[in-house]
Amino acid sequence: MVYVTVGNHDQPFDRLLMEMDALAVRMPEKVVMQTGHSRYIPRNAEYHDFFPFAEAETLIQNAAAVVGHAGIGTVISCRKYGTPLIICPRRKAFSEHFNDHQLEICQELIIRPRPGVQVAVEPEAIAEQLERALREPRPAPADCAPELKKTLQKYLASL
């Protein structure tokens, strides 16, 4: 199963859902989507607006891969379970977010990659990244807490 998540931000992320819905037709894996506040209604995948946190964590843990927005919570959960992740940033230019911090996260991950996390800056790049993620061995689970703590401490010290 491939789990698709757009997070809980209150703006739609239709570009991601449309791309994954088109890919779902030719995928050997079942596709389950969390559509959030998006307007697009998937035709080729199971979907729900939102999942309770525990259910979303179970979906992430059991997924062959996750495709999602570039939310740091999704990145941490996927690394925690060793689930391959393809992130695609919400963009201000498409009214998907109020700024481009998700694009900045993606740019950082391109420069400093993390195991099992691949970046698709545009939805059209997801297919290639997803094929690779499903073909390669699953990454080892990672304890992100020490890394996150160090990053947050560095950020707070800079204030």
* pLDDT of amino acid 142: 81
Structural tokens at position 69:
């927005």
List, as one string, the DSSP characters of 29-44.
S-EEEE-TT-----SS
> Which domains are assigned to the chain?
2-157 (3.40.50.2000)
Say how far apart CA 2 and CA 150 lie, in whole Å. 31
- pLDDT beyond 90 at 144: no
What φ, ψ does residue 119 adopt, rounded to 5°? -115, 130
- pLDDT beyond 80 at 143: no
pLDDT band at 72 (very low <50, low <70, confident <90, very high): confident
Closest listed residue to residue 134, CA positions, set 26, 22, 7: 26
* pLDDT of amino acid 145: 59
Place of tokens 């998937």: 42
pLDDT band at 149 (very low <50, low <70, confident <90, very high): low
Q: Whole-prediction pTM value?
A: 0.88
What φ, ψ does residue 114 adopt, rounded to 5°? -115, 145
Q: What DSSP character marks residue 149?
A: H
Q: Residue 91 in contact with residue 56, Cβ under 8 Å?
A: no
Say how far apart CA 127 and CA 125 lie, in whole Å. 6
- pLDDT beyond 80 at 87: yes
pLDDT band at 32 (very low <50, low <70, confident <90, very high): very high
- pLDDT beyond 70 at 147: no
What φ, ψ does residue 95 adopt, rounded to 5°? 55, 40
Average pLDDT of span 57-65: 97
β-bridge pairing 65-68 and 46-48: unpaired
> Which residues are bridge partners to 103 per DSSP?
none
* pLDDT of amino acid 157: 74
